[in-house]
Amino acid sequence: MARPQTKEELITAAQTKYDQLLALIDSMSPLELETEFDFSDDVKKKEAHWSRDKNLRDVIMHLYEWHNLTLQWISNNKAGIRRPFLMEGYNWKTYGKMNVMFWQKNQDVSLEEAMELFKDSHKKIMAEIEKMTNDELFQKNVYDWVGGSAIGSYFISNSSSHYDWAMKKIKAHRKKLNG
């Protein structure tokens, strides 16, 4: 699927990838759901997230937290409260530490609760996309607080592209377990 260039393509990509992610999760066996993710012996999986996320709940809560980050950023800035995209104290060089904080914060959340939170935050992301025009989403410099890029790129990163990331991780877990 090509990177969305229009509101319609963004909505389609986000919903399609969301549906694919839920279908993948629904197809997981009890063994796949119960076995901890472990990619420590794979030299190709060096990025921090491969060792950070230990189970499906961790992956789902990561998506949820980034949805909330996006929604809060938009809400604050549209209300005239200027805030950068990333949480205070983090930047694009240190956002990995923010991801670890998200992981730590959500260790007591059940998988069932994680799924409900994620489904709800996805609906909110989609509703926010629906509120915007094609130009608001894909023209640069519409919102000065977006930093010269188009806000649609943030929605892509925190929906369809992030869902692809999650599916890649889940599929790697399945492959490792099932050979």
Tell me, what's the pLDDT at 78?
94
In a domain, 59, yes or no: no
| pLDDT surpassing 90 at residue 179 | no
Mean pLDDT of 3-19: 97
In a domain, 169, yes or no: yes
In a domain, 78, yes or no: yes
In a domain, 34, yes or no: no
Mean pLDDT of 82-96: 95
Mean pLDDT of 91-102: 96
Tell me the per-residue pLDDT of 105-143, one tens digit each, with 9 for 90 and over: 999 999 999 999 999 999 999 999 999 999 999 999 899
Q: How many Cβ atoms from other residues are within 10 Å of residue 60's Cβ?
A: 26
In a domain, 77, yes or no: yes
Tell me, what's the pLDDT at 70?
98
Tell me the per-residue pLDDT of 43-71, one tens digit each, with 9 for 90 and over: 899 899 999 999 999 999 999 999 999 99
| pLDDT surpassing 90 at residue 170 | yes
**Residue 140, domain extent:** 67-179
| pLDDT surpassing 80 at residue 145 | yes
Domains contained in the chain, number = 1
| pLDDT surpassing 90 at residue 2 | no
| pLDDT surpassing 80 at residue 1 | no
Three-state SS letters, 33-97: HHCCCCCCCCCCCCCHHHHHCCCHHHHHHHHHHHHHHHHHHHHHHHCCCCCCCCCCCCCCCCHHH
CATH of the domain at 168: 1.20.120.450
